[in-house]
Amino acid sequence: MQNELIAKRYVQSLMTILDETSLDNTAELLNVLTTAFNDSKFLQIMNSNDIAVLAKTNLVLGMVESANSLEINNLIKLLGENGRLSLIPAISKDLKRQIASKKRVYNGRIYSISEIKQDSIDAIANDLGNKMGAKISLQFVPSNSDGIRVIVDDLNVEIDFSKSRLNAQIVEHILKAI
User: What are the residue ranges spanned by the domains of the chain?
Assistant: 2-100, 104-177
In contact, 79 and 73? CB cutoff 8 Å: no
Q: Structure pTM?
A: 0.75
pLDDT of the residue at 160: 87
Q: pLDDT tens digits for the chain (178 residues)?
A: 788 889 999 999 999 999 999 899 999 999 999 999 999 999 999 988 899 999 999 999 999 888 888 888 999 999 999 999 999 999 999 999 999 889 999 999 999 988 889 999 999 999 999 998 999 999 999 988 888 899 998 888 998 888 777 788 888 888 888 7
Cα gap 106→118, rounded to integer Å: 17
The CATH code of the domain at 2-100 is 1.10.520.20
CB-count burial class (<10 Å; 0-12, 13-18, 19+) for 34:
middle
Tell me which residue of 8, 10, 3 sits closest to 75, measured CA to CA. Answer: 10
Secondary-structure class of domain 104-177 per CATH: alpha beta
In contact, 162 and 147? CB cutoff 8 Å: yes
Same fold, 2-100 and 104-177: no
User: In angstroms, how far apart are the furthest CA atoms of the chain?
Assistant: 76
In contact, 148 and 112? CB cutoff 8 Å: yes
